Amino acid sequence: MRRFTIMPIAVLAGCFLAASAKASEWGDLKATFIYDGTAFKAKSLKITSDVEYCSKHAPKDESLVVNPDNHGIANVIAYLYLRRSAPKPPVHPSYRQTAEAKVLLDNKQCRFDPHVVLLRTTQTLVMHNSDDVSHNTKVDTFVNPAINFTIPVHRKMEHQFPRAERLPARVSCSIHPWMTGWVVIKDNPYMGSSDKDGQLLIKNIPIGTWTFQFWHERAGYVREVKQNGETKQWKRGRIEITIQPGVNDLGEVRLAPSLFKD
């Protein structure tokens, strides 16, 4: 009698993903954003409500965050730019497991955590309140209906945005007016924001030539940059990048202090 080996479902799934996603068909996009000036210090915030509670957490102005050690700029946002009639890009299988994930935006220590949320239209935004005071989370969208939910202490609310937004949507709390954040809402996973060291990484992009758009809340579209000592213009923050297999590194992208409006 012939014997058959039954493979676990997880192993079969892994084999399928490996077969359907050849390394030669995808590449990563990397960049490091640098504040091209003297040391930057964030302005102090004026705490005007729930003063006793919020003041002890000493929230900082996060509209421009510069690492004092390497001048890296946090929260520079990048996303795949597609014209309205353009077909959607292929999606790498690694993104499937998070396609319907719940993505957290926390009201924590009288600030939004994280400051920038990356959200797909198939995902759910979870607005949580970790604080001992009430908050409201207001998201000013352009094509989706705007929302403004009051979130009691240690409670949460969920919401889905069914349509992609052309620009990041501002998040605010009218109870605590210094609190701001951003939600990037797209119908594909090819977006990212720079970390505390200024490093931005978008993984598993289909190979080929794509347009990416770069944006920062104080600079708006990142229009002027310096790379390898040369000043370059990125019209409306857009550049065409040919994604090749492996890591496609733009290197250090230096941004002048004059780009960041007060």
Percent of the chain with pLDDT over 90: 85
**Mean of the per-residue pLDDT values for the chain?**
92
- pLDDT for 84 equals 83
pLDDT higher than 50, residue 8: no
Q: Is the pLDDT of residue 21 over 70?
A: no
CA separation (Å) from 110 to 113, 184, 187, 246? 9, 21, 30, 40
- Kindly report, residue by residue over 24-56, the tens digit of the pLDDT: 799 999 999 999 998 888 888 999 999 999 999
Residues 6+ away with beta carbon under 8 Å from 223: 233, 234, 235, 236, 237, 259
Share of the chain above pLDDT 70, in %: 91
pLDDT tens per residue, range 116-155: 999 999 999 999 999 999 999 999 999 999 999 999 999 9
Q: Does domain 26-259 have CATH number 2.60.40.420?
A: yes
Read off the pLDDT band of 219 (50, 70, 90). Answer: very high
For residue 14, the model assigns a pLDDT of 43
* 69-106 pLDDT per residue, tens: 999 999 999 999 998 888 889 999 999 999 999 999 99
Q: Where are the domains of the chain?
A: 26-259
222, exposed or middle or buried, with CB in 10 Å at 0-12, 13-18, 19+?
A: buried
pLDDT tens readout for residues 180-193: 999 999 999 999 99
d(CA 214, CA 229): 20
Residue type, 30: K
